[in-house]
Chain A
């Protein structure tokens, strides 16, 4: 079994993001980049699938991203290797920040196809920086493989993947014929900490470069702004007496309720 996990270097969620002078990029100075938290769970899942499958299974981490400074995808591939992936593939892209997600999916698909066979591609449901949520499904299409998003459970048996998905207000179980592409929620796997010996071993695992001829695609980020300041809350009363007014405001002012 061969499992690919796509991972991205993203700013630490605790980092305070500032917009660069050009108005469409973040100012990376002082920002710490980490392995995407959903991606980390996808790696953890891939490792447990590999362990369950036994001998011969391989986990390959793939990342398209920067090669300089903190936004260095190679470092984040090392994180994936320290979690237990066997080897890495880096698709260098120093213009990665506002890259067209379709281009990213094409690059990942090309790198994966170049490796030949695969059983499964795992990704996080979204990268926590741009929250595009689109690379997973597009990758599925490009690889011609069935794809589900937001998996919270995944089992492999008899050439099939059984995926549990968190859908709105319900849990769905989907069966996919392998090879397949699955993007995962946090609950897909428990968080793993890179263990000391694994971190040291990761330094010796191979990371190969895969060159991709990037184009701008049909996608341009024209502005980046901090989110609007949250509006101050309002207390409309106390206890059951407040309910009618609350309904009124939710329905007519916030327009969050409709009947």
Chain B
């Protein structure tokens, strides 16, 4: 067992139910043993590969699609519980958390929300078990922050569809069995379940990432991919359906990055307490304490935000702008904390024997995907003023 004990300055712990705490503690032990103590994450981060064997283990632990009801092989957990699991997974690595966010919020959630009963029965139990892996294709090479301009097209063909287009930056793309692809149709933007072994579909890996190295990021190339009528998610109605999935994933990210901050802060504090320079522990220097206090303050504030967001969501009161607040603030804070944590470890901070730099590099993606910091600023700006400013 690692010595990691979490961070709980404001005694939030007793606000969680016994069940929520048990879920968190179990996830914490699992991440310690399977990912950190085993050094599995280091190995895959170096190699730039996703530890695919974890997919089934995550399924066994019950961490995929946790909020979906039991009848589809899931746990029917509340959102705070989902958040706590994301927090613990991201304490291990943002890539692992990304895998789960995509599988749960971006693939299982749309099938559950917009799919037919048959689609739900066909996919959800296997996805919950980690036997079928999903990916979510919204972004395109030329359409990132503004997906409304997407070029991918689904053309009606008999009772089915023909799909053409390219998606880019797609997490899990090259390891996925199915892709949830968003495409333009005569009735606006709609979502499709695309089996990745369909003729005309390919998913080459995007090489050379400095960030989220233990997560697979790919391009999806679709050339005259023929789909049957059963591929359409019938309840999707425009881009807002895709944005609903993102909302659920962003909620998990707001929680997840708290885990990244906990890992960095814990490592930095231990390091400063044990390392001596100028005949004194580094922790005893004022300049060091200032950085630590800043990190700790941002971590603690982010915890309060995610806790409150969780309760709000469980009460059915979380609006998209609340979630933008959580994603924006917490990712910013995590970036700040990771940057300072790296500094505090000196040369050791650039080496993968320690975690700080891995978290620092990971956060760059987390800060960017699911709506960049600027995009969430604009969401909140619009909420405050009534003026949408996305187009300047």
Contact = CB atoms under 8 A, between A and B. Distances in A.
Please indicate whether A and B come from the same complex rather than being unrelated chains: yes
Interface of A: 12-15, 32, 34, 75, 78-79, 82, 191, 193-197, 199-200, 202-203
Interface in B267-319: none
Contact of A203 (B1, B19, B62): B19
Interface string B20-42: 00110110011001000000000
Contacts of B66: 196
Given A14-B1, A14-B3, A200-B77, A193 B61 contact: yes
Given A191-B33, A195-B62, A196-B23, A75 B77 contact: no
B18 A196 contact: no
Given A78-B18, A191-B33, A193-B61, A199 B26 contact: yes
A15 B66 CA distance: 31
A82 B29 CA distance: 14
Contact of B61 (A196, A202, A203): A196
A250 B244 CA distance: 70
B67 to A, nearest CB: 11
A194 B30 CA distance: 9
Contacts of B70: 197
Interface in B31-65: 33, 60-63
A195 B76 CA distance: 14
A199 B85 CA distance: 13
A196 B1 contact: no
Contacts of A78: 18, 22
A146 B183 CA distance: 71
Interface string B172-213: 000000000000000000000000000000000000000000
B231 interface: no
Contact of A194 (B3, B22, B33, B63): B22
Contact of A193 (B3, B18, B30, B77): B30
Given A13-B1, A14-B1, A193 B29 contact: yes
Contact of A196 (B3, B5, B29, B77): B77
B97 to A, nearest CB: 16
Given A13-B1, A32-B5, A200-B75, A195 B60 contact: yes
Contacts of A191: 33
A54 B29 CA distance: 29
Given A14-B1, A32-B5, A195 B61 contact: yes
A82 B30 contact: no
Max chain A C-beta neighbours (<10 A), residue from B3, B22, B70: B22
Interface residues of B, number: 22
Contacts of A193: 26, 29-30, 61
A14 B4 CA distance: 8
Contacts of A194: 22, 26
Nearest to B63: A196
Contacts of A203: 19
Contacts of A79: 22
Interface string B71-109: 000011100000001000000000000000000000000
B103 to A, nearest CB: 14
A200 B85 CA distance: 14
Given A14-B5, A79-B22, A200-B19, 14 more contacts: A12-B5, A14-B1, A82-B22, A193-B26, A193-B29, A193-B30, A193-B61, A195-B26, A196-B26, A196-B63, A197-B70, A199-B19, A199-B26, A203-B19
Contact of A75 (B18, B30, B60, B76): B18
A197 B33 contact: no
B310 to A, nearest CB: 16
24 contacts: A12-B5, A13-B1, A14-B3, A14-B5, A15-B5, A78-B18, A79-B22, A191-B33, A193-B26, A193-B61, A195-B60, A196-B23, A196-B61, A196-B62, A196-B77, A197-B70, A197-B75, A199-B23, A199-B26, A200-B19, A200-B75, A200-B76, A200-B77, A202-B22
A119 B121 CA distance: 42
A13 B29 CA distance: 13
A193 B33 CA distance: 10
A37 B76 CA distance: 29
A173 to B, nearest CB: 30
A83 B249 CA distance: 29
B22 to A, nearest CB: 5
Contacts of B22: 78-79, 82, 194, 199, 202
Count chain B CB atoms within 10 A of each CB in A15, A32, A202 and give the residue with the most: A32
B8 to A, nearest CB: 9
A34 B1 CA distance: 13
Contacts of B63: 196
A192 B153 CA distance: 48
Contacts of A196: 23, 26, 61-63, 66, 75, 77, 85
Most buried by B among A75, A78, A191, A197: A197
A91 B62 CA distance: 32
Contacts of B23: 196, 199
A82 B25 CA distance: 12
B102 to A, nearest CB: 19
Contacts of B85: 196
Contacts of B26: 82, 193-196, 199
Q: Which of A34, A82, A191, A195 lies at the interface centre, i.e. has the most chain B CB atoms within 10 A of its CB?
A: A195
A193 B29 CA distance: 8
Contacts of B62: 195-197
Contacts of B25: 34
A197 B26 CA distance: 12
A200 B22 CA distance: 10
